[in-house]
Amino acid sequence: MTAEKPHVVIIGAGFTGVATAHDLALRGCAVTVVDRGPIANGTSGRTHGLLHSGGRYAVNDQESAIECIDENLILRRIVPQVIEPNGGLFIALDDSDLEYGERFIEGSQACHIPIEQISPQEALRLEPNLNPKLLAAFTVPDATFDPLRLALSFAATAKSNGAHFRLFTEVEGFITDGQGNVTGVKVWDRAQDAHGEIHADMVVNATGAWAGQIAAMAGYEGLPITPTPGVMVAFDQRLTNRVINRLNVPGDGDIVLPQRMMVVVGTTSFQIEDLDYVPVIEDQVRQMLERGAELIPALKTANIRGAYMATRPLVGKGSSGRSLARTFKCFDHKETQGIEGLVTITGGKATTMRAMAEKTADIVCQKLGITAPCLTRDVPLLSYRQFYILPN
């Protein structure tokens, strides 16, 4: 903790944590990011890498759709070095899809998402592996990104502005003053197997799906977060250059996207109790293959390269994962339980990481009395490799 800059400790080196570190470092904070593992070892690393155009949410969740298209354009500008910017398609295969198409057009227009309807023949010309029976197609500005390298790019830029990263360091509890306000974190450096403390003027809980567990360490049991895992299956052929979406209400297995020499099909949605390990459910893997093959029949002859589960942090408690809004929420624990020094940010999706960080940094800076504006919309990010080149 330096005398000049306020020291903020961010728990969690996933997308939210590194983007917030980047924002706060630019606004003049001394930042330390702690994570029990390496960068993006939680949910963030496991995203299939869809940079949403927002088209998926243009009908049912327009707030989310607008967030997506805005952030999509920003990320394409500030960090192109980790993005496959080849656009996406929404494909209609049956009448239900076609009907949805009408609402899709309206919704996309309302959310200023640039779409274009193209003929099935044109769609097949663009992507020869599509289901030849497709009935309608729309282009959207979807894209694919590399999950780890996107996180590393934010982390590298934050590091270049003075942020410190303490990886493999697990938060075991909070340090509080006499009144219950948070003044730091107690940590277990798992690499050295040593315990210690890090003092802070503000702690940001950016642990995503684990936000409830961390908040509980500070005595707040009711964080409205529903960890919702889903399956992803990667196949060993690059069967498409564009993101392929099913033109219908968001469902399971309705996205196929490229990444390097693979395609990834996702995802599902269900409830779990144990966050730290979610086993792969064979039925869901099969379901991805079947649903994905409706969009790209050649998937049936591709080999499965990997299958895994990723747990999204959905905000708001409910019984069905799909009906929760995909927005993010920032909780100032002064408001939730009357203690200073702790702010929790959770929910959201990878595409909106920068916006989540901006809102979080706004609250943190307001509480710390910092008036510097957010600069992250326009500052280009450094090469992700700089994270390993810059000294700690």
Minimum distance of another protein from residue 304's CB (angstroms):
9
Of the ranges 117-125, 128-136, 278-286, 333-341, which one interacts with another protein (CB under 8 A)?
278-286
What count of other Cβ atoms lies within 10 Å of the Cβ of residue 276? Answer: 9
**Which listed range, 59-67, 141-149, 222-230, 358-366, lies at the site for another protein (CB under 8 A)?**
141-149
Strand (E) or helix (H) holding 226: strand 225-235
CB nearer to another protein: give 152 or 356: 152
154 contacts 163 by C-beta, under 8 angstroms: no
Among 279, 338, 373, 380, binds another protein (CB under 8 A): 279
Candidates 280, 281, 325, 368: give the one binding another protein (CB under 8 A).
Answer: 280
Minimum CB distance to another protein smaller for 26 or for 40 = 40
Q: In whole angstroms, what is the distance from residue 130 CA to residue 125 CA?
A: 9
Q: How far is the CB of 345 from another protein (least distance, A)?
A: 20
| CB of 136 closer than 8 Å to CB of 97 | yes
C-beta of 37: minimal distance to another protein in Å? 7
Site for another protein in 76-105 (CB under 8 A): 80-86
Least distance (Å) from another protein to the CB of residue 229? 12
Q: How far is the CB of 74 from another protein (least distance, A)?
A: 17
Count of residues that interact with another protein, criterion CB under 8 A: 56
- Residues β-bridged to residue 188: 170, 195
* Nearest-approach distance from CB 124 to another protein, in angstroms: 15
Report which of 155, 356, 127 is spatially closest to residue 238, judged by C-alpha positions: 127
Q: Which of 133, 300, 317, 385 binds another protein (CB under 8 A)?
A: 385
Nearest C-alpha neighbor of 388 from the set 149, 198, 200: 149
Coil, helix or strand at residue 23? helix
Closest separation between CB of residue 392 and another protein, Å? 10
Cα separation, 63 vs 157, in Å, equals: 29
> Which amino acid is residue 209, in one-letter code?
A
60 binds another protein (CB under 8 A): no
Cα dihedral across residues 321, 325, 330, 333: positive or negative: negative
Q: Which of 375, 367, 368, 350 is CA-nearest to residue 18? A: 350
Q: In angstroms, what is the minimal distance from the CB of 77 to another protein?
A: 14
| Whether 359 contacts 19, CB under 8 Å | no
Length in residues, the chain: 392
- The span of 173-181, 311-319, 334-342, 381-389 binding another protein (CB under 8 A) equals 381-389
Q: Which is nearer to another protein, 64 or 228 (CB)?
A: 228
| CB-nearer residue toward another protein: 103 or 270 | 270
DSSP string covering 46-80: HS--EE--SGGGTTT-HHHHHHHHHHHHHHHHH-G
The answer to whether 111 touches 65, Cβ cutoff 8 Å, is: yes
CB of 383 to another protein, least distance (A): 6
Quick check: 367 and 133 in contact, CB under 8 A? no
Strand 243-246 versus strand 88-92 pairing type: parallel
Binding string, residues 208-247; x marks residues near another protein by CB under 8 A: ------------------------x-x---x--x------
Among 287, 308, 318, 322, binds another protein (CB under 8 A): 308
Of residues 164, 166, 305, 377, which one binds another protein by CB under 8 A? 305
The C-alpha atoms of residue 170 and residue 92 are separated, in whole angstroms, by 46
Q: Quote the least distance from Cβ 328 to another protein, whole Å.
A: 21
Helix ranges, 166-281 (H): 211-217
Build a one-symbol-per-residue string for 154-193: x at contacts with another protein by CB under 8 A, - elsewhere.
--------------x---------------------xxxx
From 253, 255, 260, select the one nearest 237 (Cα to Cα).
Answer: 260
> Which residues of this protein are in contact with another protein, per CB under 8 A?
37-41, 44-46, 48-49, 80-86, 144, 146-149, 151, 168, 190-194, 232, 234, 238, 241, 258-262, 264, 274, 276-277, 279-280, 282, 305-306, 308, 310, 383-389
